[in-house]
Each structure stands twice: as C-alpha cells, then as structure tokens.
Amino acid sequence: MDTRPVSWHGLLIHNNRTDGATHATSTRFPQTHYSAGSELTRDLAMKDLAQRLAENPLLRPADLRPSTSGMKIECLLNPGAFRFQDRTWLLLRVAERPEQKPGKISFPIFGDDGQLRVIEFDQSDPKLDLSDPRVLRYDGVHYLTTLSHLRLMESADGLRFREASRPALFGQGALEAYGIEDCRVAQVGSTYYLTFTAVSRNGVGVGLRSTRDWLQMTTHGMILPPHNKDCALFEHPIQGRYFALHRPSSPDLGGNYIWMAESPDLLHWGNHRCLAHTRPGMWDSARVGAGASPILTPEGWLEVYHGANEQKRYCLGALLLDRERPWKVLARSQDPIMEPLADYEQKGFFGNVVFTNGHLVDGDRLTLYYGASDSVICAALFSIRQILETLD
Ligand code: MAN
C-alpha cells in the first residue's frame, strides 16, 4: 500500500489507496481501522471520500490558554471557517470547566449578573443523571457539563493556526447562560453573519451576530427559538430572498429534521419548510443537521450535513438542492461521505464523531474543517465533483 504523503498547496496528505488515487485517510487510520480485517469494514471505509490531513489533529485543547483562571479547556470542537484579509480563519468552540475533583462534578454557567458561576454536585447524589458526558440532569433541570465560548484563530496556509488578536465571543444574557456553540460563519457581501447555538435553561436556540471587521460585533439576539440549532445561511440571495437551513426538534410527533426558512433581511425568518428527515435503519436514522453554508454548483446547492444514528455515531453526508427553488431536494447521500474512522475520531470526550460547520471552497476543492470526537480540530479535503457523483 502506497502511504507516501502527497503535497497539495503546501499541505501534506497521505495516500493510502492501492490504486494511486489520493482518496483515503491519515496514516494512522489503516492501522486502527483495517486491523479488524473484515471485508465489510474495508468496503465501508472505501466509501469515505475524505482525504484527512496527515497533520491532524491541527489543534488540541493544550494549544490554547483557558479564557479565565480556574478553568481548564476540556475540548476544542466544531469550528466555523472563513477567509478574511487573505488569510484562513477558524472560529473554534472552546469548552471549559474547572479541573474536576474526585467524587464531584463541577461546571460553569453565566449567572443573571453575567458573572461566571461554578455549580458543583456530588457524583453519588441520586438526583444526578450523568449518562451523557455532554449534558447532565439534576433534579429534573438540565445543564451542560462544559461552558463553551468562541475563539478566533488565523493562518496563512490553512494548516498552522495561531490565536488571532481579536476578542473571543462569549455568551451574553439569559438565553446564552450555558454558552454559545458550533458557529457557522456566512459572508454576505462584506458582512460576516454568525449563526450559533445559544444554550440556557430556557432551551437551545439559534443566535445571530454580525461583523465586518471582527472587532465590532452587532448582536441580533435569537433568530430561531428553542428547540433549534444547526443554522446555515445561504451566502447569496435567490430572487431577492435570503435562505437558511435549520434544525428544529419536535420531541413527540416529528423528529430532528433539516428545515429551510426564508427572509427579506437575514434577521426575520418565515415560510418554513421541512427538507430532509432522518432515515430509519440508515447512518442518519436519529438526527440530521446542516453543516456550513451551501455551496453553489452547476447542478444545484450542495450541502454537507451531519447525521447520527441511535448509537450517537456522527457521520457526514450531502444533499443537493435545486438552484432556484432550494427547498427541493434533488439528491442525497445513501452512504456517508465521511465516517469516524481515524483514531482521533473514535476516541475522545465524546467518541465516534465527525462534525462540521465550517469549510472553504477553491474550485473543485473543498477544505472541510471539523471537530473529531468533540475533542480536537481537524481538516479533510474533498473533491466537490466526487461528492456530487455519489449522490442518488
Ligand atoms: C450535537 C452538538 C454538537 C456535537 C455533537 C456530538 O449535535 O452538541 O456540538 O459535536 O452533538 O456530540
């Protein structure tokens, strides 16, 4: 097997395929994945179109300093990505909590006065439900086990990032008391629109802020109320209207499906339509949600989305939407275009996760930045044409 790294615009990609195509994954992945020796596993892996960068993970929690003393960075995850001043920028989600003491669980929230407050419970307390490492429930009230803010990183080559001398973004007010997460960055003209998950005891909704220079931010409040997340704005209007993908959740009748809304001004959203359901028995059977802004191709708008099954295994797939009537789904991935196969995608704070909400497009090349195992930041390359060819 040829595992020589191939060079692409200064980035190193490892080529694991026997046919010479630069198609597969990092050198670490064959050892961790193919060692099972199963033909079925091999077939599944061949459908994975991602060229993982050999340098993955690009960023780990230890690479950054906590936002404030007394906090520890537990996870770096799910970056927004954009270009600004001829450089590549990432808007990372940084998840923090205090160093954990034996027998206790503690996590921060913003109090009503906007100050950081740490809540601590005894792990043996029978009122405590710790079954999910991301969320805890105490006496019927939900909390997150970490508090997330958003941190700006910049890079000349899209590979080596350093912290930008720009302010980080923190939760503000009662609707963001448990933090802000998974920010998509859409550029409309010269303005960047930030759609992110705003979390509080009131629920999970979509917040919007905008900026032109990443110094001054305008806060637009919550544009889609709970339960809603995974909001990706189209970067170009269609016949004078703006469009967005979003993911409301309906716990009883309905489910975790991808919807579309339209707007005259990017602030007020209506005419909601349901685009894509979860698919029983498939890799996206339990939840689906949009990634970053849809990509305009001659065939239509290409949207990379995440899907998870009942085992909470997060993969990526794609939807093709009509150019003029983007609420019409023309085609969809049957198999994931990317699965958690590499070691760093299988093991971490929350294992078996590849999750994206940020990418850059250069002709046919899609550079997809993603969170692996809710722990570290990675990147993978795709051919847009190759993704389109896999859609049914
Ligand atoms: C949810 C979100 C994401 C996270 C995944 C996997 O979809 O909270 O931020 O990456 O779950 O844990």
For residue 39, report the distance from its CA to the centre of ligand 1, in Å. 30
Span 341-352, pLDDT tens digits: 999 999 999 999
Mutate to test the pocket of ligand 1, among 93, 355, 370 (most ligand atoms within 8 A of CB): 355
Percent of the chain with pLDDT over 70: 88
Amino acid 19: pLDDT: 32
Name the closest-CA residue to atom 9, ligand 1: 182
Amino acid at 327: W
Which parts of the chain register pLDDT below 50?
Answer: 1-42
Q: Give residue 13's pLDDT.
A: 38
Q: At 50, which amino acid appears? A: A
- 76, 168 Cβ separation under 8 angstroms: no
- The rounded Cα 78 to chain-centroid distance in angstroms is 4
**Any atom of ligand 1 within 6 Å of the Cβ of 181:** yes
Distance 309 CA to ligand 1 centre (A): 13
Domain boundaries, the chain: 5-390
Q: Where are the alpha helices (DSSP H) in the chain?
A: 28-34, 39-46, 343-346, 384-390
CA 206 to ligand 1 center in whole angstroms: 14
Tokens of 307: 């899907």
Integer Cα distance of 220 and 61 in angstroms = 30
Q: Most distant CA pair in the chain: distance in Å?
A: 61
Residues in the chain: 392
Residue whose CA lies nearest to ligand 1 atom number 2: 182
Q: How far is the CA of 30 from the centre of ligand 1 (A)?
A: 26
What pLDDT score does 15 carry?
A: 33
pLDDT single digits (tens) 39-66: 444 455 569 999 999 999 999 999 999 9
Bridge-partner residues for 352, per DSSP? none
Distance 6 CA to ligand 1 centre (A): 32
Number of H-type helices and E-type strands within the chain: 4, 28
Instruction: Give the mutation target among 134, 136, 148, 349 for probing the ligand 1 site: most ligand atoms within 8 A of CB.
Output: 134
State whether the beta carbon of 355 lies less than 6 angstroms from ligand 1. yes
Nearest CA to ligand 1 atom 1: 355
Spell out the CATH class of 5-390: mainly beta
Distance CA 232, CA 358 (A): 10
What does the alpha-carbon distance between residue 50 and residue 308 come to, in Å, rounded to a whole number?
18
Q: Give the bridge partners for 88, in sequence order.
A: 83, 155
d(CA 278, ligand 1 centre) in Å: 16
Confidence (pLDDT) at 43: 53
**Amino acid found at 21:** A
